[in-house]
């Protein structure tokens, strides 16, 4: 798809000046180019060529402007894109829309005069987030250089690879920012024609955020992952000391030392961690409520740790859901009448003649396990399944497209009401599993609680904190504060104003 720019006459430029490119290769004349569908690209680097190629493939006439359009190397590279290679000035003169595909360091060397009154698309990225009180994004810097131009930030969230492959797999969204809505509309249309989805992020100042997007690697997940990992390690260490070391010291049998590391111990810690983290999703909200009650206002800042904690809840919840699912998945295959004998009907022991080899038998005691759950086992398993299903529902309502269909009231109902039910049912799951061991201690260290007990500690704290808030007078007062009521008297206000 080569374009013949000989016949191009938009903007009154002399197209005959524009023959230093590869425009005559086909020797065919094309009909006059639609000015709405012609774009200049400044810069012959990888990104410039990728965007030029994509534009050409979507029916645009593209003029790639180079500072050195006669170099063979550049000619060859640009030819493959189907765009016309020319000088920067000539490319700019031919089009209303100019894509600036050079680094910020080179902005000063652009033909700034000729860029006036054009729509400039800044596609640049940074290699690291740069911030400070006086920081300006690349796009704002460009706008500062050419104040008469209409700068639009865009495309930087797409890699050259995504441009070449139509974003086949990743997000197809292109974030735009700019102070000129007519320019943004024009660029939006171009984005759509190229097969992507334009998303307007507002004024050019938003370019600061847009330029950080490609550098982002799940910033909101880092802290929650660390918290969950830390809790898991701590609980794993406790379980390792209790169920492996301590148990084997007591039994004097070290042969099984490593045997249950991979699954039994791991699975147990997954379960306990899930219960802790699920409580951790509700504890900060309770703390916040008490602080609001104490201070008598919602207009005071929470301590920073609480603020961070409140913002982590969604991620904590999703990580918890992953662990709870893995726990469920492992448990159904692994919980057997032998491993968790106490939730099944009592096994029976028989004296049997065990076959040693073809000719020898020896009399030994053999345990015949019963695969029927007892009543505690039935409740234990039912609670686990119900709790997991409720948590999956919570997970589904966290999917962006589902959240978007829920009103604030509906979202709160699911995340709060259903979540509390899941928490209580999960605690019952733990209680009915370990019914017989709720007053047990470490086998070698008789004052230390075991897993199923400390699994319940945060749930217990959460429930104890929740109950007073359910009392109608407390609840009403909290609702009043949350609607904006402040307890502080006029007198105190005046005093704080003086101070």
Quick one: which segment of 84-92, 96-104, 231-239, 382-390 binds a second copy (CB under 8 A)? 382-390
User: Where are the extended beta strands (E) located within 43-186?
Assistant: 61-66, 84-87, 97-100, 119-122, 150-153, 173-178
From the list 96-104, 129-137, 185-193, 436-444, the region that binds a second copy by CB under 8 A is 185-193
- Find the radius of gyration of the CA atoms of the chain: 34
430, 456 contact by CB (below 8 A):
yes
Supply the DSSP string of 17-40, one letter for each residue. Answer: GG-SSSTTTT----PPPPGGGEEE
Neighbours of 191 (CB within 10 A): 21
- Tell me how far, at minimum, the Cβ of 164 lies from a second copy, in Å: 8
390-419 binders of a second copy (CB under 8 A) = 392-393, 396, 399-413, 415
Binding to a second copy by CB under 8 A, coded x per residue (else -) over 12-51, reads ---------------------------------xxx-x--
Residues 346-365 that bind a second copy (CB under 8 A): 348-355, 361, 364-365
Task: Output 389 or 471, the one with its CB closest to a second copy.
Answer: 389
* CB count in 10 Å sphere of residue 343: 22
**Footprint of a second copy on 194-233 (CB under 8 A):** 197, 200-203, 205-206, 213-218
Q: How far is the CB of 312 from a second copy (least distance, A)?
A: 10
- Cβ proximity to a second copy: between 217 and 470 the closer is 217
DSSP output for 196-207: -EEEE--SGGGH
How many secondary structure helices (H) and strands (E) does the chain include? 19, 12
CB atoms closer than 10 angstroms to residue 350 = 9
Q: Name the minimum Å distance from CB 350 to a second copy.
A: 4
Alpha carbons within 13 A on the beta-carbon side of 69: 23
Give the residue among 277, 273, 271 at the shortest CA–CA distance from 313: 277
Q: Tell whether residue 59 is a contact of a second copy (CB under 8 A).
A: yes
Using alpha carbons, select from 435, 432, 437, 328 the residue that is nearest to residue 380: 432
H-assigned helices in 151-263: 160-165, 181-193, 207-212, 219-239, 247-251
Measured over the CA atoms of residue 243, residue 245, residue 250 and residue 252, the dihedral's sign is positive
In angstroms, the CA 94 to CA 107 distance is: 20
Task: Give the residue, chosen from 12, 29, 73, 472, that forms a contact with a second copy under the rule CB under 8 A.
Answer: 73
Among 33, 193, 60, 186, smallest CA distance to 119 is for 186
Tell me the per-residue interface mask from 261 to 280 with a second copy, x by CB under 8 A, - otherwise. Answer: xxxx-xx-------------
Element (DSSP H or E) covering residue 216: none
Q: How far is the CB of 449 from a second copy (least distance, A)?
A: 26
d(CA 385, CA 332): 10
Positions in 94-153 near a second copy (CB under 8 A): none
Least distance to a second copy from the beta carbon of 98, Å? 20
Give min distance, CB of 56 to a second copy, in A: 14
Report the residue from 11, 68, 148, 370 that binds a second copy according to the rule CB under 8 A: 370
Q: How far is the CB of 191 from a second copy (least distance, A)?
A: 9
Interacting stretch for a second copy, rule CB under 8 A, among 100-108, 127-135, 235-243, 480-488? 480-488
- Applying CB under 8 A, among 32, 129, 144, 170 the residue interacting with a second copy is 170
CA neighbor of 44 nearest in space, from 21, 67, 18, 15: 67
**Span interacting with a second copy, options 99-107, 254-262, 271-279, 461-469, rule CB under 8 A:** 254-262
Residues near a second copy (CB under 8 A), total: 128
Residue 277 · residue 228 · CB < 8 Å: yes
104 is written with which tokens?
């910020």
Shortest Cβ 69–a second copy spacing (Å) = 15
CB of 52 to a second copy, least distance (A): 12
User: For tokens 């398993």, what's the residue?
Assistant: 381
Helices 457-470 and 266-295: crossing angle in degrees, nearest 10, is 30
Minimum Å distance from CB 477 to a second copy? Answer: 15
Q: How far is the CB of 14 from a second copy (least distance, A)?
A: 27
366 touches a second copy (CB under 8 A): yes
245 binding a second copy? (CB under 8 A): no
Pick the closer one to a second copy by CB: 302 or 454.
302
- Of residues 296 through 325, those in contact with a second copy by CB under 8 A are 299, 310-311, 313-314, 322, 325
Does 434 interact with a second copy (rule: CB under 8 A)?
Answer: no
Minimal distance, residue 385 CB to a second copy, in Å = 4
Which of 332/467 has CB closer to a second copy? Answer: 332
């Amino acid at each position: 798809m080569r374009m013949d720019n000989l016949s191009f006459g938009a903007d009154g430029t002399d197209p005959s000046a524009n023959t230093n490119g590869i425009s005559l290769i086909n020797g065919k004349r094309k009909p006059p180019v639609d000015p709405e569908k012609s774009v200049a690209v400044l810069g012959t680097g990888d990104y410039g060529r990728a965007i030029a190629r994509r534009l050409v493939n979507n029916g645009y006439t593209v003029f790639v402007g180079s500072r050195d359009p006669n170099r063979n190397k550049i000619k060859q590279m640009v030819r493959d894109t189907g765009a016309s290679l020319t000088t920067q000035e000539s490319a700019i003169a031919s089009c209303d829309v100019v894509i600036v595909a050079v680094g910020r360091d080179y902005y000063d060397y652009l033909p700034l005069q000729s860029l006036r009154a054009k729509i400039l698309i800044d596609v640049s990225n940074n290699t690291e987030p740069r911030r400070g009180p006086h920081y300006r994004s690349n796009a704002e810097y460009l706008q500062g250089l050419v104040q008469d131009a209409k700068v639009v930030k865009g495309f930087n969230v797409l890699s050259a690879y995504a441009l070449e492959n139509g974003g086949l797999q990743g997000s197809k969204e292109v974030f735009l920012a700019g102070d000129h809505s007519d320019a943004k509309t024009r660029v939006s249309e171009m984005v759509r024609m190229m097969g992507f989805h334009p998303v307007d992020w507002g004024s050019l100042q938003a370019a600061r955020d847009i330029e950080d997007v490609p550098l982002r690697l799940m910033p909101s997940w880092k802290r929650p992952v660390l918290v969950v990992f830390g809790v898991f390690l701590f609980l794993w260490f406790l379980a390792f000391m209790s169920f492996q070391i301590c148990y084997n010291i007591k039994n004097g049998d070290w042969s099984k030392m490593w045997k249950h590391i991979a699954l039994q111990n791991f699975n147990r810690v997954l379960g306990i961690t899930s219960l802790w983290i699920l409580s951790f999703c509700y504890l900060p909200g309770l703390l916040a409520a008490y602080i609001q009650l104490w201070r008598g206002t919602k207009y005071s800042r929470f301590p920073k740790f609480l603020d961070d904690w409140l913002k982590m809840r969604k991620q904590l919840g999703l990580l918890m859901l992953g662990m709870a699912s893995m726990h469920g998945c492992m448990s159904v295959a692994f919980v057997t009448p032998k491993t968790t004998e106490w939730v099944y009907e009592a096994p029976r022991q028989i004296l049997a003649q065990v076959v040693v080899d073809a000719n020898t038998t020896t009399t030994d005691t053999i345990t015949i396990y019963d695969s029927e759950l007892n009543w505690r086992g039935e409740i234990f398993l039912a609670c686990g399944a119900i709790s997991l299903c409720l948590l999956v529902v919570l997970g589904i309502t966290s999917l962006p497209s589902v959240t978007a269909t829920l009103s604030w009231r509906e979202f709160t109902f699911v995340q709060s009401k259903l979540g509390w039910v899941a928490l209580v049912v999960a605690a019952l799951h733990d209680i009915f599993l370990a019914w017989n061991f709720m007053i047990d201690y470490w086998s070698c260290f008789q004052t230390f609680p075991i897993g199923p007990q400390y699994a319940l500690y945060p749930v217990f704290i959460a429930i104890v904190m929740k109950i007073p808030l359910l009392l109608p007078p407390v609840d009403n007062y909290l609702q009043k504060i949350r609607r904006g009521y402040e307890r502080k008297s006029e007198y105190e206000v005046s005093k704080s104003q003086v101070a």
